[in-house]
A and B are shown apart, each in its own frame.
Chain A
Amino acid sequence: MVDLSTTWMGLELESPFIAGASPLSDDVDTVKRLADAGAAAVVTQSLFEEQLTVDQMALYQHTEGHADAHREALTYFPDYEDAGLGPEAYLKHIEALKGAVDIPVIGSLNGTTPGGWVRYAKQMVEAGADGLELNVYYVATDASESPAAVEQRYVDLVAGVRDVVTVPLAVKLSPFFSSLGHLAHRLKAAGADGLVMFNRFYQPDIDIEMLEVTPSLHLSTPDELLLRVRWLAALYGRCDLDLCCTGGVHGAEGAIKALMAGAQAVQMTSALLKHGVDYIGAVRDAVHGWLVEREYDSVSQMIGSMSLDRCPDPAAMERANYRRVLGVWHKF
């Protein structure tokens, strides 16, 4: 029996397999099934501050915008004061999940304002979240904003949230940084405990007939894993942050690669949406079988084994295709 347990930001997990943020976590029964299937933790779908804000303002404008404008119709809707316009429903859901499963429940948060990050982070922890995943989603389209300023946004929000919560804190990043390692150090200093790599953005698509932009989000594919593998390997042991892989883990082999590169845990999302909640258990069992077959004692043995610091050919990890070509040429 191989010991599959791991720790992720100080959370003791029975295995490295976490159900990532997705609509699957919206339903308590589904989360129960995930836990039963073998998920070691679950990340809730993000609480989007922007969504809450937009919903509030839209409802306000659409209901109040025509109020008191015509003598026969002073309003057009029933009073909506009891509508769940704040995070209440979301927070209640966290409470419900905590009451339903024993595995850690990690709250995912996407804020847009400093106040929003802090307020909602605190409320999610008060609702029972065992840890937080800050799903930072920022597309720097303003050409006058410097890279340093962009990084500072991340650092400030982590520091702000850390000021008000003590639970483990992960930052879910995109890969689009000049120096991820440097940023990781700064995030650690600001109070982060872990990095989740990487976020996947909605991508604008173009309707070539209607000449319109249509946002789209597709499920991940295994091809996306290798980008994660490289950066997990590059950061493992070098930033004092726990690492978690998300995006591209669709089976045992992918999970093993992520773990070997340096992930203490792996999140599965698209694969579960595609194959069903039980798939997380199947992957876990397959990894277990793989470890047994190769006589590993524990999963921790392989975590980081193929990181930049430990892999046999670090240059290959660092420079990838270009280096490989050079290497072949040198051997000629």
Chain B
Amino acid sequence: MPVTRILDANEATARVAFKTHEVIAIYPITPASAMGEHADAWAARGDVNLWGDVPRVVEMQSEGGAAGAVHGALQAGALTTTFTASQGLLLMLPNLYKIAGELTPMVLHVAARSVATHALSIFGDHSDVYACRQAGLGMLCSNSPQEAQDLALVAQVATLNSRIPFVHFFDGFRTSHELSPVTLLDDADIHALMPMDGVFAHRARALTPDRPVIRGTAQNPDVFFQARESANGFYDACPGLVEAAMDAFAARTGRRYRLFEYVGHPEAERVVIMMGSGSGAAEETVEHLAAAGERVGLIKVRLFRPFSLKHLLAALPETARRVAVLDRTKEPGGAGEPLYQDVLTALYEGDRQDVRVVGGRYGLSSKAFTPAMVKGVFDALEAERPKNHFTVGIVDDVTHTSLPWDPDFRVEPDEVVRAVFYGLGSDGTVGANKNSIKIIGEEAGLHAQGYFVYDSKKSGAMTVSHLRFGPNPIRSTYLIEQAGFVACHQWSFLDRVDVLEVAAPGATFLIDSPHGPDAVWDHLPREVQAAIVDKHLDLWVIDASTVAREAGLGRRINTVMQTCFFALSGVLPKDDAIARIKEKARATFGKKGPEVVRVNLEAIDAALDHLHRVEVPGEVSATRGRPPLVAAEAPDFVQKVTAVMLAGKGDLLPVSAFPPDGTWPVSTSRWEKRGIAPEIPSWDADLCIQCNKCALICPHAAIRTKVYPEEGLADAPAGFQSMPFKGKPFQGWKYTVQVAPEDCTGCNLCVQFCPAKDKRNPRHKAIDMVPLAPVLEQEVANFDHFLALPEAPLADIPDNVKGSQLRQPLFEFSGACAGCGETPYVKLLTQLFGDRALIANATGCSSIYGGNLPTTPYCTNDDGRGPAWSNSLFEDNAEFGLGFRLAVDALTSEARRLVGQLVPEIGVSLAEALLGAEMGDDAAIAAQRLRVEDLRRQLGQVSITDARRLEQIADYLVKKSVWIVGGDGWAYDIGYGGLDHVLASDADVNILVLDTEVYSNTGGQQSKATPMGAVAKFAADGKGLAKKDLGLLAMMHDHVYVARVAIGAKDAQTYKAFVEAEAWPGPSIILAYSPCIAHGYDLRFGAEQQRLAVDTGYWPLYRFDPRRVAEGQPPLTLDSKAPGERLDAFMRNETRFRMLAQRDPARAKMLGAQAQTDVTRRFEMLLRLARPEEA
């Protein structure tokens, strides 16, 4: 009896890949990372492949590296695979040509994702897989998790039989992350279908000195061409072999696949041809329309390469007259997208000129593709001359490509239960819903589907879960539009999001509400009340936050809300459902410990006791409406574009709303007031010692300090706090610490870091956390006033760490995690150099919180200056930043030359002053800017061409500061080659490595920065080797400024390092220790952990300054003391180390001892370098 489990396509695919391979080379990339993670985890626990061996899973430094390793392992005879997406696939491309050219059986599994163009996007389309269609690979497309499992095996069989390497792909997120029932292939199925002859033949071709051959030769014009043509027969045979594999698969499993699969009216006149998950929506629509008598059909393309004209022609009904080919990509400048062109060719060559073919684009970057849009395409085909090269799903009001569609057209059957849940990222909603799907889909025998939408933020993010349940297979590959159950798991969302837009008439609406059933109505905004009344919704409330907290679950309300869903939705009989939830809780949490089970069971019981129906009044009574998402004074673009995106309605924006080249305005995060912190810091001026540490450590620039003349208090709101500034530069001025109440994430770092305690009651500090709601209005007014106060003159601000926090942060309110350890460094960078900085940012956390729309955190000062920021790729950031420097240097040189040439026009003294300026500090920079203003005034009087040229680039006469920023995944792994090259140059660039010691953005995979003994993905049994010493490697260049810093441990040293690095006229690199949620502890203690990291010698602080050599000093200055505490004092506080101690105490002990030895040895080595006389 086949087993059915709820899986996403990543897991379903990885299961087959794991079973059928001996070597697996992996590298994380969204949305394919999970395939590698599964493979690594299974190997770590000793799972075996078909032949009883544990596959060798190796993490590489990049996708390019993974492809190289795959190529090598294939050549040496192992069955080898890898997983990737997007840029990762492009990095593999050179090897894919080789592997195909050598007719090497291989399956590469791809979660298809947009290739970054005008912007990065992690979402799904076919631009990546299309980019390798010419490499000679077979390409097989799956449209659902079930198909992904099945075709993973079909691809395996086909590659071994045909010798054509395959890309097996499915849509990123929509399929890779969709949960749905998968009838599993067991080992016997796989054994039965695997062509062992093909395996033996692959082995026989292995490179071995026992029977040597040579491959990888270089060929000349005389033979290359012919040799290239010699493989034709393999491609000719391939479609038939794929078909045979599908036939064998059907015979074994009963599941039938075809190269081109037709569904619809047998005498269809209008046919859509497409591939990928959108076929689900198209198939639903075709069935609906055909049942109504419309002669429409759909061809689902499974084998895209080799493209079999014969099979396509056979699949197309004779009656077909109009064909729309839909491509999930855009190839600007081409004659049409790839599938369209292939179909055109096929029909032309197949003498089907009777068919009019048009091509269109849909669904780029996971844009919704609904039955309404499919209907729009069929409707368009009815026109006498159907629009060609159309788009569907957007409104193109610029080049007018888009087709119209009726958004109210729906085809979903009534028997499907549809539920939508709005949750907070950290509240466990998605996890609970995944659990519910498993209960219903695996145990209760219903069909189920789950898809989850996440917003861009890493803190306070909203998740929207779309769940479907029904008696029949569910193919609705689009978001729910009409839900019978809507749950809002966070009260604050009611003021921010139209959660009831998806509610069907008569739906059940459940709210996690701090207000009870009698009071809740009066607290709802007018729009919500109106929707409840108009749609006759059945309203229920529960104070889930309180129930969860009292049960011991903290802020995780998942179990409570899941229980309520089952109690209300009627998917299963209530008692049966509750029993199943409890059983599932025991099974799910049992392995996480009996206490975890206990608190969850307690929460389930308590949930039912606290769930209340609300008597809904017949009419709207609210006096307040939902507040506007952005303030009225926000700029026009923010009002018209950003605010729409913030409302979750970005799909409605027309093409004309967007800049065509990816250039967006800065300073937009300030308009997004999220108010996600339940508690915010409150300042007690009586205790404050004005150290400014709160502002320094704040990851979000949400607590700030300012000095200002007393006049600043003249129009201050009542309740605005201030105190006399203590210090010389601003004697007689006032000082204020101010929180941005709606931008604070409530991480507590500032409170924990604040050193000023009340001597009578040390529990009270100069900064304490207080509940947000009672102080919100006051603090909003205070913050507005604070912002309006003038910034202190830069030239007068003291040159120290305290002074740094009197400077305006030009990086504010990012979407980084609460307590993020990276962002304080980025913020400091902008405070010190932001008004003249160019930042090249590697892909990763810092590019996501730095540049993910709708709003971005880099901003400008009152002069309109601020960091110019861009992200190129993950792997090329050092080179990208070097390019910045080269351009700046070129333009600066040109400007200086023009100044020289224009001396007669601008005068000798100004020219000499401009060219001779030192620009070593803020005063000098300000003076140079004044000279440039003067220059511009003078140039305005001159009419020659050179004057115009100089006018444009005159600002380059002011020193620019180039920063290259990224995480350890970039600096230690994928970008190391480029980093090393830039360090070996003499370019004046500053490299900031935000070292979290793990790939944070993709979910905690080990990098070469991961320390010994830490558990990470791809190092499930604890990393056995020491962290790569990037600092030491950089020092070996001699001419590079190198610093290792930890802002929470020794902020003055961090400050000094930033200033020195920027001043060093060659390359500099700062390795910045960055606490991260992937370390597994409450990040409010991030600064304390940094202190421990330094005190134990885990993270010694130093500065290597080549300037010191000229002074007769060793270039290295050691800024931390010899380890004073055992390393264990640091390690025991973090899950990454504790997990190993709990899982494998002996290995933890062994690695802990080695790490201790390593720490001691490394410190002694640094000591010898820094103070040879002491060593």
Known: A78-B44, A78-B1015. A62 touches B1080 (CB 8 A): yes
- 1/0 per residue, CB under 8 A from A, across B603-637: the answer is 00000000000000000000000000000000000
Compute how far the CA of A70 lies from the CA of B817 in the bound complex, rounded to whole angstroms.
10
Whether, in the assembled complex, B109 has its beta carbon less than 8 Å from a beta carbon of chain A, the answer is: no
Known: A73-B1000, A83-B1139. A68 touches B594 (CB 8 A): no
Compute how far the CA of A86 lies from the CA of B597 in the bound complex, rounded to whole angstroms.
12
Q: Which residues of B contact A80 (CB under 8 A)?
A: 592, 1139, 1142-1143
User: Contacting chain B: which of A40-48, A51-59, A225-233, A302-310?
Assistant: A51-59
Known: A73-B1000, A74-B34. A81 touches B592 (CB 8 A): yes
Whether, in the assembled complex, A84 has its beta carbon less than 8 Å from a beta carbon of chain B, the answer is: yes
Q: Which residues of B contact A218 (CB under 8 A)?
A: none
Compute how far the CA of A61 lies from the CA of B591 in the bound complex, rounded to whole angstroms.
14
Most chain B CB neighbours (cut-off 10 Å) among A55, A56, A211: A56
Flag if A56 contacts B1002 (CB, 8 Å). Answer: no
Known: A56-B593, A78-B1017, A78-B1020. A62 touches B1001 (CB 8 A): no
Q: Say which residue of B40, B593, B1001 sits within 8 Å of A86 (CB atoms).
A: B593
- 1/0 per residue, CB under 8 A from A, across B996-1013: the answer is 000011111000000000
Whether, in the assembled complex, A293 has its beta carbon less than 8 Å from a beta carbon of chain B, the answer is: no
Whether, in the assembled complex, A89 has its beta carbon less than 8 Å from a beta carbon of chain B, the answer is: yes
Interface of A is mostly: loop
User: Contacting chain A: which of B333-341, B423-431, B732-740?
Assistant: B423-431
Compute how far the CA of A78 lies from the CA of B57 in the bound complex, rounded to whole angstroms.
15
Compute how far the CA of A106 lies from the CA of B1020 in the bound complex, rounded to whole angstroms.
35
Q: Smallest CB-CB separation from A68: which chain B residue?
A: B430
- 1/0 per residue, CB under 8 A from A, across B425-440: the answer is 1101111001000000
Q: Say which residue of B429, B592, B1000, B1001 sits within 8 Å of A60 (CB atoms).
A: B592
Whether, in the assembled complex, B454 has its beta carbon less than 8 Å from a beta carbon of chain A, the answer is: yes
Flag if A57 contacts B596 (CB, 8 Å). Answer: yes
- 1/0 per residue, CB under 8 A from B, across A70-97: the answer is 1111111111111111100100000000
Q: Smallest CB-CB separation from A72: which chain B residue?
A: B30
Q: Smallest CB-CB separation from B38: which chain A residue?
A: A79
Flag if A69 contacts B1002 (CB, 8 Å). Answer: no
Whether, in the assembled complex, B1138 has its beta carbon less than 8 Å from a beta carbon of chain A, the answer is: yes
Whether, in the assembled complex, B1154 has its beta carbon less than 8 Å from a beta carbon of chain A, the answer is: no
Flag if B1003 contacts A64 (CB, 8 Å). Answer: no
- 1/0 per residue, CB under 8 A from A, across B390-426: the answer is 0000000000000000000000000000000000011
Flag if B595 contacts A53 (CB, 8 Å). Answer: yes
Compute how far the CA of A62 lies from the CA of B556 in the bound complex, rounded to whole angstroms.
12
- 1/0 per residue, CB under 8 A from A, across B1024-1050: the answer is 000000000000000000000000000
Whether, in the assembled complex, B132 has its beta carbon less than 8 Å from a beta carbon of chain A, the answer is: no
Flag if A68 contacts B1139 (CB, 8 Å). Answer: no
Q: Which residues of A contact B759 (CB under 8 A)?
A: 211
Known: A63-B1080, A81-B591. A73 touches B1139 (CB 8 A): no
For residue B1146, give the distance in angstroms from its CB to the closest CB of chain A.
10
Whether, in the assembled complex, B978 has its beta carbon less than 8 Å from a beta carbon of chain A, the answer is: no
Flag if A70 contacts B1142 (CB, 8 Å). Answer: no
For residue A53, give the distance in angstroms from its CB to the closest CB of chain B.
4
Whether, in the assembled complex, A67 has its beta carbon less than 8 Å from a beta carbon of chain B, the answer is: yes
Q: Which residues of A contact B1015 (CB under 8 A)?
A: 77-78
Q: Which residues of B contact A72 (CB under 8 A)?
A: 30-31, 33, 122, 848, 1001-1003
Whether, in the assembled complex, B461 has its beta carbon less than 8 Å from a beta carbon of chain A, the answer is: yes
Interface residues of B in 540-594 (CB under 8 A from A): 552, 554, 556, 589, 591-594
Q: Which residues of B contact A65 (CB under 8 A)?
A: 426, 554, 556, 1077
Flag if B1139 contacts A59 (CB, 8 Å). Answer: yes
Compute how far the CA of A156 lies from the CA of B431 in the bound complex, rounded to whole angstroms.
40
Cross-chain pair count, CB within 8 angstroms: 144
For residue A153, give the distance in angstroms from its CB to the closest CB of chain B.
20
Flag if A84 contacts B1145 (CB, 8 Å). Answer: yes
Q: Smallest CB-CB separation from A75: which chain B residue?
A: B1003
- 1/0 per residue, CB under 8 A from B, across A174-208: the answer is 00000000000000000000000000000000000
For residue B365, give the distance in angstroms from its CB to the closest CB of chain A.
13
Q: Which residues of A contact B848 (CB under 8 A)?
A: 72
Compute how far the CA of A181 lies from the CA of B118 in the bound complex, rounded to whole angstroms.
82
Q: Smallest CB-CB separation from A65: which chain B residue?
A: B426
Whether, in the assembled complex, A324 has its beta carbon less than 8 Å from a beta carbon of chain B, the answer is: no
Known: A52-B595, A60-B592, A83-B1139. A76 touches B452 (CB 8 A): no
For residue B1107, give the distance in angstroms from its CB to the closest CB of chain A.
37
Flag if A69 contacts B454 (CB, 8 Å). Answer: yes
Whether, in the assembled complex, A323 has its beta carbon less than 8 Å from a beta carbon of chain B, the answer is: no
Whether, in the assembled complex, B321 has its beta carbon less than 8 Å from a beta carbon of chain A, the answer is: no
For residue B583, give the distance in angstroms from its CB to the closest CB of chain A.
17
Q: Which residues of B contact A68 (CB under 8 A)?
A: 425, 428-431, 434, 452, 463
Flag if A64 contacts B1020 (CB, 8 Å). Answer: no
Flag if B556 contacts A64 (CB, 8 Å). Answer: yes
Compute how far the CA of A89 lies from the CA of B757 in the bound complex, rounded to whole angstroms.
42
Flag if A71 contacts B30 (CB, 8 Å). Answer: yes
Flag if A77 contacts B594 (CB, 8 Å). Answer: no
Q: Say which residue of A56, A74, A78 sits within 8 Å of B1016 (CB atoms).
A: A78
Q: Which residues of B contact A33 (CB under 8 A)?
A: none
Flag if A56 contacts B1001 (CB, 8 Å). Answer: no
Whether, in the assembled complex, B119 has its beta carbon less than 8 Å from a beta carbon of chain A, the answer is: no
Q: Smallest CB-CB separation from B590: which chain A residue?
A: A81
Compute how far the CA of A62 lies from the CA of B1139 in the bound complex, rounded to whole angstroms.
11
Q: Which residues of B contact A62 (CB under 8 A)?
A: 1080-1082, 1135
Q: Which residues of A contact B461 (CB under 8 A)?
A: 69-70
Whether, in the assembled complex, B45 has its beta carbon less than 8 Å from a beta carbon of chain A, the answer is: yes
Flag if B1135 contacts A63 (CB, 8 Å). Answer: yes
Most chain A CB neighbours (cut-off 10 Å) among B40, B593, B596, B1081: B593
Flag if A56 contacts B454 (CB, 8 Å). Answer: no
Q: Which residues of A contact B30 (CB under 8 A)?
A: 71-72
Compute how far the CA of A55 lies from the CA of B1145 in the bound complex, rounded to whole angstroms.
14
Whether, in the assembled complex, B173 has its beta carbon less than 8 Å from a beta carbon of chain A, the answer is: yes
Whether, in the assembled complex, A238 has its beta carbon less than 8 Å from a beta carbon of chain B, the answer is: no
Whether, in the assembled complex, B691 has its beta carbon less than 8 Å from a beta carbon of chain A, the answer is: no
Flag if A66 contacts B426 (CB, 8 Å). Answer: yes
Q: Which residues of A contact B591 (CB under 8 A)?
A: 81-82, 85
Flag if A85 contacts B593 (CB, 8 Å). Answer: yes
Q: Smallest CB-CB separation from B44: which chain A residue?
A: A78
Whether, in the assembled complex, B599 has its beta carbon less than 8 Å from a beta carbon of chain A, the answer is: yes
Compute how far the CA of A57 lies from the CA of B593 in the bound complex, rounded to whole angstroms.
8
Known: A71-B122, A82-B1143, A85-B1142. A56 touches B596 (CB 8 A): yes
For residue B408, give the distance in angstroms from its CB to the closest CB of chain A.
29
Compute how far the CA of A211 lies from the CA of B755 in the bound complex, rounded to whole angstroms.
10
Whether, in the assembled complex, B936 has its beta carbon less than 8 Å from a beta carbon of chain A, the answer is: no
For residue B842, give the distance in angstroms from its CB to the closest CB of chain A.
15
Compute how far the CA of A53 lies from the CA of B454 in the bound complex, rounded to whole angstroms.
32
Most chain B CB neighbours (cut-off 10 Å) among A61, A62, A73, A81: A73
For residue B837, give the distance in angstroms from its CB to the closest CB of chain A.
27
Interface residues of B in 28-74 (CB under 8 A from A): 30-31, 33-34, 37, 40-41, 44-45
Whether, in the assembled complex, B458 has its beta carbon less than 8 Å from a beta carbon of chain A, the answer is: yes
Known: A68-B452, A69-B454, A74-B1003. A59 touches B434 (CB 8 A): no
Q: Which residues of B contact A211 (CB under 8 A)?
A: 757, 759, 762
Name the 10 nearest CB pairs between A and B, nearest first. A56-B593, A69-B425, A73-B1003, A68-B430, A211-B762, A76-B1004, A71-B454, A81-B591, A78-B1020, A62-B1080
29 contacts between A and B (CB under 8 A): A52-B595, A53-B595, A55-B1142, A57-B595, A59-B592, A59-B1080, A59-B1139, A61-B554, A62-B1080, A63-B1135, A63-B1139, A66-B425, A68-B425, A68-B428, A69-B426, A69-B463, A70-B458, A71-B30, A71-B31, A72-B1002, A74-B1003, A77-B1017, A77-B1136, A78-B1016, A79-B41, A84-B1143, A85-B591, A85-B593, A86-B593
Task: A65-B426, A78-B1015 given; name 15 further pairs at CB < 8 Å.
Answer: A57-B593, A57-B595, A60-B589, A65-B1077, A69-B425, A69-B461, A70-B454, A70-B461, A72-B33, A72-B1001, A73-B1003, A77-B1016, A77-B1078, A78-B1017, A211-B757
